[in-house]
């Protein structure tokens, strides 16, 4: 428990404002919760923290690419416009986290899917605790990165709402 508190304190002290959990509720039964400690630290420091849940099945993807696109677009806004510090995690931080991170990297840096996947892989190799796991996403996860980034790119070239549609006419 002392180790858990030390880790949560270190994470909180790093300035993280938004904690994104990609695990499904059934996984949380075996997961040591961090939210109570983080909330307590934030209250003591009069700081605001937020906890966001976006459950994805382990070693799989969210089946709705549009929902993933909207979620990642929202995170991009928080990073670029709101300058928030965001921590994204699942159980091991490899597949589900790697999928979302690869999409974010592609969106933020305007990279093609293969380049975003490679960039995420290079970042993953820098981790001190990988338990020997290489960041190799499952085929369905790599495909989702490609699909969502294509949707994002198509959306950038073809806005869904024109300026005329935004106007109100009396």
Give strand pairing partners of 88: 20
Scan for tokens 């690869």, then name that residue: 102
pLDDT of residue 141: 97
Helix (H, G, I), strand (E, B) or coil at 82: coil
Question: Residue 93's pLDDT band (boundaries 50, 70, 90)?
Answer: confident
Give Cα separations from 129 to 90, 108, 156 (angstroms): 14, 26, 37
pLDDT score of 46: 97
Structural domains in the chain, CATH included, are 2-159 (3.90.190.10)
Which DSSP category does 57 fall into?
Answer: -
Residues 122-164: pLDDT tens digits?
888 887 765 566 667 999 999 999 999 999 999 987 655 444 4
Question: Token pair for residue 21?
Answer: 């959990």
Q: Which residues are 51's β-sheet partners?
A: 19
Tokens 């928030």 belong to which residue?
Answer: 84
Which pTM does this prediction carry? 0.86
What pLDDT, on a 0 to 100 scale, did the predictor assign at position 22? 97
pLDDT of residue 32: 83
Cβ–Cβ < 8 Å for 137, 102: yes
Predicted local confidence at residue 158, as pLDDT: 67
Residue 71, both tokens: 């979620």
pLDDT above 50 for 165: no
pLDDT tier, 74 (very low <50, low <70, confident <90, very high otherwise): very high
């Amino acid at each position: 428990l002392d180790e858990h508190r030390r880790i949560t304190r270190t994470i909180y002290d790093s300035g993280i404002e938004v904690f994104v959990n990609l695990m499904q509720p059934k996984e949380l039964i075996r997961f040591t919760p961090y939210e109570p400690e983080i909330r307590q630290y934030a209250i003591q420091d009069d700081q605001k923290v937020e906890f966001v849940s976006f459950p994805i099945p382990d070693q799989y993807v969210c089946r709705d690419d549009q929902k993933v696109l909207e979620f990642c677009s929202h995170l991009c806004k928080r990073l670029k416009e709101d300058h928030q510090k965001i921590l994204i995690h699942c159980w091991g931080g490899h597949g589900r986290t790697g999928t979302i991170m690869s999409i974010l990297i592609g969106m933020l840096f305007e990279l093609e899917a293969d380049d975003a996947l490679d960039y995420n892989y290079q970042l993953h190799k820098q981790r001190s605790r990988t338990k020997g796991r290489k960041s190799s996403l499952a085929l369905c996860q790599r495909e989702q990165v490609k699909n969502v980034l294509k949707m994002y790119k198509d959306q950038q070239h073809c806005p869904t709402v024109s300026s005329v549609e935004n106007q109100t006419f009396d």
